[in-house]
Structure 1
């Protein structure tokens, strides 16, 4: 079967907006006169294809020989990027700065050194106004080159000022690089492992967190230094489940953008990620009122052109908004009502297939499976869990483990005890291999083994014993990880009280909301 993901040119054309396609045609006509007929024919053919298939492509473009195709595709790829660059230039500060730097270099090569320096001054001011430190460095590099090779009759202390600016910029870049490296390493640890499983994991994370740069004063730091510093604290707190700390730094992250609104346009993806994490922090702390306020704020932001005119931002916003909407139903105990979201999510997952990484898809599958399980449809839950279990990936081992655990409990709900005897051994081995077994999970496995051999009238005391045991672990930070993925306590209470699990969670939500309003 043809695969859309294997051809970069096809992906690029499919990602173009209508205005970008129209601009490409005008660009080709303007630059070549004839519009470079074969390149345009290739563009049109690829634009009309639902999936990439080289044989069909050659059949639809008889003027193109197979031996020409590779070169034509490479040429078309470059021409599309050039045309989009021209169209999007005013929307992106990076492109504006690049263009002006190019102009300064052209003038310098022409021997027009004073004109080049005047443009470089403007570029430097624009870069400073928009926190673009790497461009300040490039400007300074060219300025120093001109001053050292030519007599420009600049001010007397020009050399000293340039050296001081250069040293300050280099120091800032070192700090930004160090902080962004630490942030990336912590995030990569989470993608591989999920939340901290034990004290050994905590020690590994603490090793990252001992870097002195993380504990220096925030005063005097620039935008990017603060952004990456807050991200480091966010990832560390989230992974180690220190949710109050996580919440505080999510607030700092988003408030940083609100203090400099222009940076929302420049670093939109970082702002979107910050809003997602803030929603996650409200969910983890059950800040229901703030959670709803933040969702409304996020939905209003999504309507802005900076999101609607950028496919990357649109996909990111879809992922995080619908994650929050699912979490809202988990929080409220309205699982059955939340099932109305599933068709739309699946439709978007298909539409954005080429843009979404597998990690995001896995998270959606797990949340949808949890939604069906909470609504009492164990069979449908198993369908989505199988999608995770059968997808061979080397990330989020925690999600892989809990998918198997929920899969096993769903079969327990369906009474598939013969299958469960096999699953118990298989899942236990898998989780042990992944070093993912906590005391809470060991207790669940022990219960399931005993329940096979117990008559119905003896199962209830087993449920009660397990509930008591798990409640005793609920405040242990190294054990709370288990409860983030599966609400074992509500499930056990539903079995003991013989009520649907969503009814139990709904009762808890209503009681918590009443306490908050009374306070």
Structure 2
């Protein structure tokens, strides 16, 4: 979706800099007088004022030739990264540890072994405190090397300790890696195909989970081991559409951070994702009161600065805030209110971070926007945003979302009266479902319904809507067919046609009845 390429990486980096980071870079770069007029500084001044990469404009406004530009850009990029490292060393403990390690290496090369060991000791204290076990193992191995190769007067007492420490860390890292790999693989499967579609998918995911889940004692697991375990469980239950178990695991995920307050600042991305999946499962469980309570708590923590804000978390806060606010309007049936209250600020914020959003996030957001417009009765904008999803060339990304976007597109085209090429649109949707291997009973019945609708007399249409509704309701709680209803509330749409009411009113009535 993004049109950025490799030549734009420098511009994108500059656009992400805060005012204080830009000021710090200027101070860093100007520490020597000759840098003030350097070509890379001239380039920085020009690039920080432009919104899109324009090589002609850059060359016109800087004393840089076309042949020099690539090297000057590379130098500027490196200088910005160095200034950011210096600015954020104290805030980022892993950078601080690496700096101690680098200094220890320099001292070691000079033969200052005792001083090198002292810096390693300081680095180890920080690494242990924040459970950076991989870096900690590297520190221990370096310490072992110094102790084994040089007389430091501590070899006799330290050799056994270091050996035991190294062995314990290797075991922890192996368990940690097994859990994090399992979590990542499951997440990758979800991004590709979404929920399980059939018995074959179910057996595969259950077998994969069981065979790759390492043995563990929950009481002995570290913070990160528990985090990866809960993440893996969430993806596993989520893919299987077991939202009650998914709720329990996502609740433990969030609770883990709330019991380790400092972790919110160290791993804010994971904390935000936990919150999102907790809200998402409550949405699918239709637990409105609990959903609104958790959403309020989430927004309160963001507002109060309890969650660290940086380039990564800004994107996630944007995505999770708006998708869950939209979900709240879905649950209430207040689609028109959502269009008025949410979309203006959403579009404004979206423009600011569009170039940093990946295709998955953009696709999810477009689908949410399209559904909000559809519920409000604005079929023109529904079609517009669904078309953006359907134009996506990455067929292996969220195949499920791409399939159901095509179903909603057919419905919106029918509702808007843009049905002159309906046969062609139906055929296109049919081919896509076959291509994606997502041709199941509910999809078949919906496609066949639209295919045969042109042969039905006007006075018979309401009867056809009733027949389709009665057929689909049978699959509402089906283990695999029910996933269609998670993406598309087609029953409410059919009821709206049968009862001559808007989709918005139908869902509002359902919400008030279940409240």
TM-score of the pair, normalised by structure 2: 0.95
Work out the CA distance in 1 between the residues paired with 2:39 and 2:504.
60
2:91 is the counterpart of 1:91? yes
Work out the CA distance in 2 between the residues paired with 1:28 and 1:454.
74
Corresponding position of 2:38? 37
Corresponding position of 1:366? 367
Corresponding position of 2:79? 79
2:119 is the counterpart of 1:131? no
Q: Map 1:258-297 onto structure 2 (within 5 A).
A: 258-297=258-297
Shift in alpha-carbon separation, 1:212–1:65, aligned structure 2, 3 A: closer
Corresponding position of 2:394? 393
Corresponding position of 1:409? 411
Work out the CA distance in 2 between the residues paired with 1:212 and 1:67.
52
Deviation at 1:417, TM superposition (A): 4.0
**Contact 2:268-2:308 within 8 A present in 1 as well:** no
Residues 67-106 of structure 1: CA distance to partner in whole angstroms, max 9, x if unpaired? 2222211111111111111111111111111112222222
Q: Secondary structure at the match of 2:90?
A: helix
Bigger mean CA deviation after superposition, 148-157 or 66-75: 148-157
Shift in alpha-carbon separation, 1:487–1:2, aligned structure 2, 3 A: closer
Q: Secondary structure at the match of 2:219?
A: coil
Q: Secondary structure at the match of 1:162?
A: helix
1:457 to 443, 455, 459: 459
Work out the CA distance in 2 between the residues paired with 1:214 and 1:452.
56
**Contact 1:2-1:52 within 8 A present in 2 as well:** no
**Contact 2:265-2:307 within 8 A present in 1 as well:** no
Corresponding position of 2:506? 504
2:310 is the counterpart of 1:310? yes
Shift in alpha-carbon separation, 1:356–1:3, aligned structure 2, 3 A: closer
Corresponding position of 1:488? 490
Q: Secondary structure at the match of 1:35?
A: helix
Corresponding position of 2:469? 467
Shift in alpha-carbon separation, 1:332–1:200, aligned structure 2, 3 A: same
**Contact 2:148-2:155 within 8 A present in 1 as well:** no
Work out the CA distance in 1 between the residues paired with 2:68 and 2:442.
62
TM-score of the pair, normalised by structure 1: 0.95
2:51 is the counterpart of 1:50? yes
Shift in alpha-carbon separation, 1:463–1:34, aligned structure 2, 3 A: closer
Deviation at 1:168, TM superposition (A): 0.7
**Contact 1:254-1:271 within 8 A present in 2 as well:** yes
Deviation at 1:35, TM superposition (A): 3.1
Deviation at 1:328, TM superposition (A): 0.5
Corresponding position of 1:181? 181
Corresponding position of 2:425? 423
Deviation at 1:122, TM superposition (A): 2.1
Deviation at 1:305, TM superposition (A): 4.9
Deviation at 1:506, TM superposition (A): 0.7
Q: Secondary structure at the match of 1:94?
A: helix
CA RMSD of aligned residues (A): 1.9
Bigger mean CA deviation after superposition, 245-254 or 371-380: 371-380
Work out the CA distance in 2 between the residues paired with 1:117 and 1:124.
10
Bigger mean CA deviation after superposition, 18-27 or 208-217: 208-217
2:450 to 437, 448, 451: 448
Work out the CA distance in 2 between the residues paired with 1:386 and 1:106.
57
**Contact 1:417-1:452 within 8 A present in 2 as well:** no
Shift in alpha-carbon separation, 1:473–1:431, aligned structure 2, 3 A: same
**Contact 2:175-2:214 within 8 A present in 1 as well:** no
Corresponding position of 2:13? 12
Shift in alpha-carbon separation, 1:214–1:468, aligned structure 2, 3 A: farther
**Contact 1:333-1:505 within 8 A present in 2 as well:** yes
Deviation at 1:214, TM superposition (A): 4.6
Deviation at 1:464, TM superposition (A): 1.7
Work out the CA distance in 2 between the residues paired with 1:53 and 1:322.
32
Corresponding position of 2:343? 342
The number of residues matched between the two structures is 512
Corresponding position of 1:516? none
Deviation at 1:31, TM superposition (A): 4.6
Work out the CA distance in 2 between the residues paired with 1:249 and 1:288.
19
Deviation at 1:457, TM superposition (A): 2.4
Work out the CA distance in 2 between the residues paired with 1:112 and 1:36.
40
Deviation at 1:32, TM superposition (A): 5.6
Q: Secondary structure at the match of 2:213?
A: helix
Stretches of structure 1 lacking an aligned partner (at least 5 in a row): 514-519
Q: Secondary structure at the match of 2:131?
A: coil
**Contact 2:373-2:381 within 8 A present in 1 as well:** yes
Deviation at 1:212, TM superposition (A): 5.4
Corresponding position of 2:150? 150
Work out the CA distance in 1 between the residues paired with 2:260 and 2:338.
36
2:435 is the counterpart of 1:433? yes
**Contact 1:366-1:403 within 8 A present in 2 as well:** yes
